[in-house]
Chain A
Amino acid sequence: MKVRWRLLSVLMILALVAVACGDDDATTSSTGPAAASCELADLDLVSPGQLTVATGEPAFPPWVGTPTGDNFDEPESGVGFESAVVYAVAEEMGFSADQVVWVRVGFDEAIGVGPKNFDFNLQQYTITAERDEVVDFSDPYYSNAQALVAFADNPIANATTFADLADARFGVQVGTTSLDYIENVIQPSTTVSVYDSTVDAKSALEADQIDGLVVDVATAYYITAVEIPGSVVVATFGAPADAPDEFGMLFEEGNPLRDCVNVALSALRADGTLTSLEEQWLVDAGGAIIISE
């Protein structure tokens, strides 16, 4: 017995030594210095000569495609806000439209470890400090607000203050900042239900398992206009000043391309392109009241 254990420990030590030695050359070489130049030829791209952009599967209007159903789930069309922003950024960086190649990556997949198959990914990712530790975000391309959707005949459809919402049953999509907003700001008495997708949350609304659904304001207008007849946007919520809800493009941690995309984004913001794209593709939130107390 004694001999066997001795051999076992020797082998284990050997294995550990092998592991320790092998570890030395495992440096994270991907985090290089920022690219000095944003000339097309100098860019470090996933596939040389083309801009590979990822979005969700399916991609929903009004972000990709329009609420009227035109070019639904066709980011190549340039129809829909995020699709239009990508083509504007690409043009600003010097790409032609047919050099933009779209790939589909799930929300969870995109945030995983390892090399990415896209240059950047946009599917309404809210920029947060915690997420920023794992991936990199561009500067914001859109400032978001949360909105409450309910059936017109539900009592909460008449809410004007947070107190009116204290006993409501809320539902949200997982991965959205809506959950944090409800739990931290509205603080309802019932546990907030969390769904995989807004589709499931809508099913729960129709099944009367929740009173209201909290989603991004643009999505809210799409849902009420097209997807759930009889539902209304009850209100939009003012984002707390210290925690703005802004969408950014997601890059692999340390990707130098991010700086070049930021240069393009700030040019598009300065010349008013971003604002006009918002006006073109995202419904104006003017109708609903804003609840902030």
Chain B
Amino acid sequence: MTQNPLERVERRGPQMLWPRRSPRESEENGRGAWIAVISTVVVFGLLIALALNSQYWPAVQRQFFNWGHFKTSFPLVLDGFWLDVKMFIVAEILILVIGLAVAMARSLRGPAYTPLRLLMIGYIDLARGLPLLLLILLMGFGIPSLRLPGVPNSALFWGVAALVFSYSAYTAEVYRAGIDSVPESQRMSARSIGLTQGQALWHVIVPQAVRNVIPALLNGFVSLQKDVALVFVLGVREGLREADIYNARTFNYTSYIAAAVLFLLVSIPVARFTDWYSDRQRKRMQAMST
């Protein structure tokens, strides 16, 4: 039995991952920090000074950063923003499932699966080739206009459907990259112990594939979390639309700042988590290869 590679690193000490600094290096790091602080202050200070000194700054402040308007518009925007959150959760779950199914269907080998593979390639090309906004408009207004019996006509339903349609294709490609990154020997050994092609994919390939692409999937989370707002073109009263209504009513843009704050509150933690996770993943990989 071989040792767990992580344990091995642990025993050798952390210098494998974080080399101990020599005195000379720490001195250089100290100077680096100084330069970082000074250049940061100078650059941001100049940018802020430039903005605040503009002749129109008082007007911009009144129109974009108005505390009174912020307080009035925030509850309205927040109300709509809950709908964004709900749309995001429902869409993301469907996307993760459908994307994986599409990627697996596309990864099946053998001539018998050719029609299925072609269908999946066609779907991915179509869904990724069309602007998301166009898909939302086409599906949201187009399909209900046909008035097909039994088909829902809700704008919310078709808006989320368009998001799922588009994002599942991207996500399928992320999964596929993961599936391709698993060494061929894994598939062959799985087949050699008697697993069918589907079993080999599901039990051996996919678990490794998914672990490899989690940072990329999380990146898709961040992207979707903002794109759900696009459903507003169908008349859905989500956060961005509420901000838009407030702006049109008052000619003041602070409501957009309120919406921006809400979107950032959700997306920044996810982005930081993605960074943290990728970092951990990378260190594990490094540890395994030492």
**Chain A residues packing against B (C-beta within 8 Å):** 4, 7-8, 11-12, 14-15, 18-19, 22-23, 26, 28, 107-108, 111-114, 128, 130-131, 133-135, 171, 174-176, 179-180, 191-196, 200-201, 203-204, 206-210
Partner among A11, A26, A133, A209 whose Cβ is within 8 Å of the Cβ of B53? A26
On whether the beta carbons of B56 and A114 are closer than 8 Å, the reply is: yes
Q: Are A19 and B52 in contact (CB under 8 A)?
A: yes
Tell me if A113 and B49 are in contact (CB < 8 A).
no
Partner of B60, one of A108, A113, A210: A113
Min CB distance B237 to A, Å, is 6
What is the size category of the interface that chain B forms with chain A? 35 or more
Cβ of B52 and Cβ of A209 under 8 Å apart? no
- The reply to whether B41 and A23 form a contact with Cβ atoms under 8 Å apart is no
In the bound complex, what is the Cα–Cα distance between A134 and B62 (angstroms)?
A: 9
Q: Which 4 A-B pairs have the closest CB atoms?
A: A193-B235, A15-B45, A175-B248, A207-B144
A209 to B154, Cβ gap below 8 A?
yes
Complex formed: what's the CA distance from A203 to B62 in Å? 36
Q: At the interface with chain A, which of B31-39, B97-105, B198-206, B263-271?
A: B31-39
**B 45-67 binary contact with A (CB < 8 Å = 1; else 0):** 10011001111111110111000
Whether the Cβ atoms of B145 and A194 lie closer than 8 Å is no
A108-B244 Cα distance, complex, nearest whole Å? 10
- B250 interface residue (CB < 8 Å to A): yes
Q: Is the CB of B41 within 8 A of A201?
A: no
- CA–CA, A7 and B236, complex, Å: 51
Residue in chain B with minimal CB distance to A114: B56
Number of inter-chain CB pairs below 8 Å: 121
Q: Which of B54, B55, B237 has the most CB of A within 10 A?
A: B55
Whether the Cβ atoms of B237 and A191 lie closer than 8 Å is: yes
B251 sits at the interface (CB 8 A): yes
Residues of chain A within 8 A of B245, CB atoms compared: 174, 179, 194
Given A207-B153, A209-B153, CB of A19 within 8 Å of CB of B53: yes
Q: B53 contacts A200, CB within 8 Å?
A: no
B88 shortest CB reach to chain A, Å: 19
- Whether, in the assembled complex, B117 has its beta carbon less than 8 Å from a beta carbon of chain A, the answer is no
Cβ of B147 under 8 Å from chain A: yes
Nearest-neighbour CB distance to chain A for B134, whole angstroms, equals 13
Are the CB atoms of A11 and B235 closer together than 8 Å?
no
Q: Which A residues are CB-close (under 8 A) to B49?
A: 15, 18-19, 22
- Indicate whether B155 reaches chain A with its CB closer than 8 angstroms: yes
Residue among A12, A180, A209 with most chain B CB within 10 A: A209
What's the least CB distance linking A161 to chain B, in Å? 26
Q: In whole Å, how far is B260's beta carbon from the nearest beta carbon of chain A?
A: 16
| Residue numbers in B under 8 Å from A19 (CB-CB) | 48-49, 52-53
Return chain B residues, CB-CB under 8 Å to A208: 144, 147, 153
Would you call A130 and B55 a contact (CB within 8 A)? Answer: no
**Nearest Cβ in chain A — how far from B10, in angstroms?**
31
Query: Which residues of B lie under 8 Å from residue A179 when comparing CB positions?
Result: 245, 249
Q: Is the CB of A26 within 8 A of B233?
A: no
